[in-house]
C-alpha cells in the first residue's frame, strides 16, 4: 500500500472507517504514518497477531475468482515451487500484468511484461484494441511470453522473454508470418512450435501451427492446420502440453460469451493427428443457471505435488435477463483430474480467499503504483508528481483521453478522490460509456455518457479548495415491479464540500456493462483533467457500501 502520511481530515476519516470495518489487509504500509491521529488509530485497532493479514472470507472457486476484476485470458506456468500468471490487457498501458503465487490462490502482481512502446506499438485508439490473449511459458531457464497487438496487426505475433518475470522483459521479436490472435508456445526438445488462430485477410481462418526460430521470429517451414475444434463457433486460444505419451491440445470454443466452452484433443506429436475427447466440451457453464458464466479459455498447470489445475476466465452477470457483467472477464481456478486419459475439471476443489482490494493512494511514492494504467497513452505523459502534494494532470490535449485508470474489482464499492481546482473522477467501460463527477470553474457536475448521448444529471456550486468526489456502486433501488429496473447495480455520484455531503445523481449501472457497451474489458476508475489542469491529492477505494 505504501506510506500514507496524509493529514487531510477526510482521508483520516476514510482510514478510520476502513480500519474499524477491517478494510485494510494488514498494517504493513501504515506503520510509518506520521500524523498522531492516524498513529492512534492503528494503536486502537484490533489486532489478529504479529502484524499478520486479517482473516479473509473464503468462497468456493466455482463462485470466487482468484483475480477479480478485468483480468481475462489467463495463462499460467510453474517454476519449482512458484506459479506465474499473465493476462491480456487490450488498450491499456503498461500491458500484460504478471502475477506470482505459491499456492495458486493468493496472487501478488510483479509488474507488467510490456512496459515500453517498442514492445506495444501505438495503433488505432479503439476500445478493446491493443493486447490480446498471451501465453506464458518457462523453457531453458527463461520465461517466454507471446501475444498479439491487434493495433499493430501486420507485425504478427510479439515474442518477449526474460530471466526475471518481474522484468524488464526483452525487446520484442515480431513474427509477421503468423498474423492472427491467441498464440501459443511449446517445445519438443529444442524445437519450438507456435500455434495460433489465423485472421490473415485472404486466408482461410482457423488454427495453424509452425516451427519457430525464437531468435529471429522466422517460421521454419510453411504453417499447417491442426485440430479445428469440435465444430462450435470461434475455435481459438490453443494451448499444447506434453503429458505422458500424448500431446494434449486445449481450445476455447463457442465465443467468449454465454456459449464459451473448453474442448480437448490429443495426438502422438505436437502437429497431430489429433483425436478429440469423446466428452467434449470438457468444461462449460452454457445453459446452466450458475452465478458464473462465459467460462472458458483455460490453461493447465501441474503442482509440485503432481496434481493438476486449470485457470480460466469467467464472468459474474447480475440483474434481469440477459444479465449484465460489469467487472469484465475474470480469472478463476479449477482442479483437474484425469479419467481414461482425458482431463476433467473440478471447479469445487479449491476454497478461494476473497482478495483484499482496498487501497489508499496519496501519490507520494517516486513512481505511480502498478495499479495505474492508461488507455492509448503512457501514464507518465498524463500526470506529473508534485512532491507530497499529489498529482497534477495537465489539460487534455486534442485527441487524447488524458485518463489514469485502475480496475474496479468488486460488485459493491465506494471510491473517493480528493481534488482541488478541477478534475474528473469517473467510472468507465470505454470512451463512450462512463459516469463521472466533474469539477470545473467552481461547479461540480454529475455527468453520464452512454453511446452518443452525453447528459448532465446534477450540479452544485462550490467554493475553492479541496473537495471529495465520490462514486459508489449500490444495489438497485427496489421497485414495485417484480424485477425492478433489472440492472446489476446503481451508481451514485456525490461530492463533499465545506457544507457536507451532496448526492448529485443515481444512475442505472447496466449502461456500464459489456452487454450494453460491448467489448472485452471491464469497469475502470479514472482520474483526469479537462480544459483546465487537475490536482489530485489522493484516491481511495474499498469494497462494500460506504
> What is the per-residue pLDDT for 40?
39
384-403 mean pLDDT: 78
Q: Which one of 152, 182, 184, 236 is the catalytic residue?
A: 236
Same domain, 30 and 85: no
Please, which pLDDT band fits residue 481 given cuts at 50, 70 and 90? Answer: low
What is the DSSP code string of 471-527? EEEEPPPP-SSTTTT--S-EEEEEEEETTEEEEEEEEEGGGGSHHHH-SS---EEEE
Helix (H, G, I), strand (E, B) or coil at 200: coil
Same domain, 177 and 280: yes
Q: Which one of 73, 362, 447, 496 is the catalytic residue?
A: 73
C-beta neighbour count of 387 within 10 angstroms: 7
* Range with lowest mean pLDDT among 112-126, 157-171, 513-527: 112-126
The answer to whether residue 473 scores a pLDDT higher than 60 is yes
Cut 0.85: pTM above it: yes
Q: How many domains does the chain have?
A: 3
* Range with lowest mean pLDDT among 15-29, 202-216, 324-338: 15-29
Which residues have C-beta within 8 Å of that of residue 313, sequence separation ≥ 6?
A: 72, 73, 74, 256, 260, 294, 295, 296, 297, 329, 330, 331, 332
Please, which pLDDT band fits residue 466 given cuts at 50, 70 and 90? Answer: confident
Same domain, 345 and 236: yes
Same domain, 38 and 179: no
Same domain, 103 and 4: no
CB 92 within 8 A of CB 108: no
Please, which pLDDT band fits residue 229 given cuts at 50, 70 and 90? Answer: very high
Cell triple for 199:
485472421
Active site residue 236: yes
Q: CATH number, domain at 508? A: 2.60.120.200
**In the predicted model, what is the mean pLDDT of the chain?**
88
Last residue of a domain, which of 314, 330, 353?
353
Last residue of a domain, which of 334, 353, 372?
353
Same domain, 173 and 130: yes
Same domain, 295 and 382: no
How many whole angstroms from its chain centre is CA 238? 21
CA distance 31 to 537: 21
Same domain, 155 and 76: yes
The answer to whether residue 309 scores a pLDDT higher than 80 is yes
Last residue of a domain, which of 327, 353, 379?
353
Same domain, 159 and 179: yes
272-280 mean pLDDT: 97
Domain that holds residue 455: 356-543
Same domain, 294 and 401: no
Active site residue 190: no
Same domain, 245 and 390: no
Please, which pLDDT band fits residue 486 given cuts at 50, 70 and 90? Answer: confident
Task: Tell me what percent of the residues of the chain surpass a pLDDT of 90.
Answer: 75
CA-based nearest residue to 381, from 528, 526, 522, 524 = 528
Q: CATH number, domain at 331? A: 2.115.10.20
Same domain, 81 and 44: no
Amino acid at each position: 500500500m505504501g506510506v500514507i502520511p496524509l493529514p487531510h481530515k477526510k482521508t483520516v476519516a476514510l482510514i478510520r472507517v476502513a480500519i474499524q470495518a477491517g478494510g485494510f489487509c494488514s498494517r504493513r504500509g501504515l506503520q510509518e504514518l506520521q500524523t498522531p491521529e492516524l498513529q492512534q488509530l492503528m494503536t486502537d485497532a484490533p489486532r489478529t497477531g504479529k502484524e499478520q493479514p486479517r482473516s479473509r472470507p473464503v468462497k468456493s472457486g466455482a463462485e470466487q475468482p482468484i483475480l477479480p476484476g478485468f483480468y481475462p485470458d489467463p495463462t499460467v506456468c510453474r517454476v519449482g515451487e512458484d506459479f506465474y500468471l499473465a493476462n491480456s490487457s487490450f488498450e491499456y498501458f503498461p500491458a500484460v500484468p504478471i502475477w506470482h503465487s505459491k499456492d495458486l490462490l493468493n496472487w501478488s502482481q510483479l509488474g507488467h511484461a510490456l512496459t515500453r512502446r517498442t514492445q506495444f506499438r501505438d495503433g488505432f485508439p479503439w476500445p478493446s484494441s491493443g493486447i490480446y490473449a498471451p501465453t506464458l511459458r518457462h523453457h531453458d531457464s527463461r520465461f517466454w511470453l507471446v501475444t498479439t497487438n491487434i493495433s499493430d496487426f501486420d507485425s504478427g505475433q510479439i515474442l518477449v522473454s526474460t530471466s526475471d518475470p518481474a522484468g524488464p522483459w526483452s525487446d520484442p521479436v515480431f513474427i509477421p508470418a503468423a498474423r492472427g490472435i491467441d498464440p501459443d508456445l511449446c517445445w519438443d526438445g529444442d524445437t519450438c512450435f507456435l500455434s495460433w488462430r489465423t485472421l490473415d485477410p485472404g486466408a482461410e481462418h482457423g488454427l495453424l501451427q509452425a516451427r519457430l526460430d525464437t531468435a529471429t521470429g522466422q517460421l521454419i517451414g510453411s504453417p499447417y492446420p491442426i485440430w479445428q475444434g469440435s465444430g462450435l463457433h470461434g475455435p481459438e486460444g490453443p494451448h499444447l502440453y506434453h503429458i505422458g505419451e500424448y500431446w494434449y491440445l486445449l481450445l476455447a470454443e463457442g465465443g467468449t460469451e454465454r456459449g464459451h466452452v473448453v474442448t480437448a484433443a490429443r495426438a502422438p506429436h505436437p502437429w497431430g493427428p489429433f483425436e478429440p475427447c469423446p466428452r467434449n466440451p470438457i468444461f462449460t457453464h452454457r445453459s446452466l443457471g450458475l452465478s458464473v458464466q462465459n467460462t472458458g479459455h483455460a490453461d493447465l498447470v501441474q503442482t509440485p505435488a503432481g496434481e493438476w489445475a486449470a485457470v480460466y476466465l469467467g464472468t459474474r452477470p447480475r440483474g434481469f435477463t440477459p444479465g449484465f457483467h460489469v467487472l469484465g472477464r475474470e480469472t478463476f481456478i479449477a482442479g483437474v483430474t484425469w479419467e481414461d486419459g482425458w482431463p476433467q475439471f473440478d471447479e469445487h476443489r479449491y476454497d478461494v480467499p476473497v482478495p483484499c482490494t482496498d487501497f489508499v493512494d496519496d501519490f507520494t511514492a517516486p513512481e505511480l503504483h502498478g495499479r495505474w494504467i492508461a488507455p492509448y497513452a503512457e501514464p507518465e505523459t498524463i500526470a506529473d508528481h508534485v512532491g507530497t502534494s499529489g498529482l497534477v494532470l495537465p489539460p487534455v490535449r486534442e485527441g487524447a483521453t488524458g485518463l489514469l485508470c485502475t480496475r474496479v474489482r468488486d460488485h459493491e464499492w465506494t471510491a473517493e478522490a480528493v481534488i482541488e481546482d478541477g478534475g474528473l473522477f469517473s467510472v468507465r467501460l470505454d470512451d463512450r460509456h462512463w459516469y463521472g463527477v466533474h469539477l470545473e470553474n467552481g461547479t461540480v457536475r454529475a455527468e453520464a455518457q452512454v453511446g452518443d448521448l452525453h447528459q448532465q444529471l446534477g450540479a452544485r456550486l462550490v467554493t475553492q479548495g479541496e473537495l471529495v468526489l465520490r462514486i459508489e456502486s449500490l444495489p438497485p433501488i427496489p421497485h414495485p415491479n417484480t424485477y425492478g429496473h433489472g440492472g446489476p447495480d446503481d451508481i451514485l455520484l456525490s461530492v463533499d464540500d465545506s457544507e457536507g455531503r451532496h448526492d448529485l445523481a443515481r444512475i442505472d449501472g447496466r449502461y456500464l456493462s459489456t452487454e450494453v457497451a460491448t467489448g472485452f474489458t471491464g469497469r475502470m476508475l479514472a482520474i483526469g483533467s479537462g480544459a483546465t489542469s487537475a490536482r489530485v491529492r489522493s484516491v481511495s477505494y474499498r469494497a462494500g457500501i460506504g
